[in-house]
Amino acid sequence: MRVTIIGGTGHVGTFLVPRLVTAGHEVTVVSRGQRQPYRPHGAWRFVTTVSADRQAEEDAGTFGARIAALEPDVVIDMICFEPDSARQLVEALAGRVRHFLHCGTIWVYGPSAQVPGTEEQPRRAITEYGRKKAEIEAYLLDQAQRHGFPATVIHPGHISGPGWTPINPAGNLNLDVFQKLADGDTLMLPNLGMETLQHVHADDVAQVFGAAIANRSAALGESFNAVAATALTLRGYAEAAAGWFGQVARLKYLSWEEWRRTVDETDADVTHTHLEHSPHCSIDKARRLLGYRPRYSSLEATAEAVDRLVSDGQVRVNEST
């Protein structure tokens, strides 16, 4: 089939594009042309690339027509963050595509209640990003149910893998956290370190998209979580990460108010968002309907990302350890 991916050179697209090409699809990637895939692959030689400024074309009301003109059978939208953006595409593609896949987020669920959470749980988003993604999801699934628009929504967790910084055991993106663990220094964690994170390797997210396309009848009008099979506590994550460097984690726990005073405001805000959500989502639906079998555990996904950080010199390793 002819598959058009909007934003296909990012984290997930790096793995999704080769998967689709290998499966025999004719792939077109639409992007601003400012980023190369995180990992080279020979499949990219067979990909058609189209340069487009989505924001400018949406403002002009032409972006949906631009995508429709490519005559795709399948459209995968990796970078839709505004409900109006989704509406423009649906209006342009209705009756013209066999399948439309939207990249959502587990943030649509808000704070975890019963875990592992399923796709049937209420949407209680508490961030603007999560609320907009939940609105997009509701719109797409309503269009599927009322008008037969062939939509599927995929909700990734904390996307990880080589080439970018994973959420660390303190729930933020500060590389000093991994450096402390590598050096055997004391790492301070908020509360008792029992809040959770749920990483997923970008290739496993790509697997869910590919499986949804291959199992179209089961995927239409549905949402699926794309996460690793289990979540990690901050404490367990820190202990495992220290072991990657041949260290035993030296952890100290502080109340939230004490802990936030030990980091800058940006790190504190990012950590608070992750702790407030403490995601732990189920993959049973994707396993049952799509045959999803994640290749990576949460720890394996983050370990691969950290290995790259070490190779790139962003995290230093004491050779004596």
In the chain, domain spans: 2-159+199-226, 163-198+232-279+298-311
CATH hierarchy code of domain 2-159+199-226: 3.40.50.720
pLDDT at residue 35, as a whole number: 66
Q: What is the mean pLDDT of each run of 10 residues along the chain (321 residues)?
A: 94 94 96 75 90 94 97 98 98 98 98 95 97 98 98 98 94 98 98 98 98 98 98 98 97 98 97 97 98 97 97 88 48
Handedness of CA 289, 294, 299, 303 (dihedral sign): negative
Fold of 163-198+232-279+298-311: UDP-galactose 4-epimerase; domain 1 (3.90.25)
pLDDT at residue 41, as a whole number: 81
Q: What is the pLDDT of residues 90-101, one digit of tens each?
A: 999 999 999 999
Token representation of residue 292: 């999803």
pLDDT at residue 163, as a whole number: 87
pLDDT at residue 40, as a whole number: 75
Q: How far apart are CA 197 and CA 230, in angstroms?
A: 9
- From the list 46, 39, 32, the residue with the least C-alpha distance to 2 is 46
- From the list 74, 105, 80, the residue with the least C-alpha distance to 5 is 74
Q: What is the pTM of this model?
A: 0.95
Query: Is 231:301 a contact under the CB 8 Å cutoff?
Result: no
Q: What is the pLDDT of residues 40-61, one digit of tens each?
A: 788 889 999 999 999 999 999 9
Q: How far apart are CA 105 and CA 127, in angstroms?
A: 12
Token representation of residue 93: 């593609």
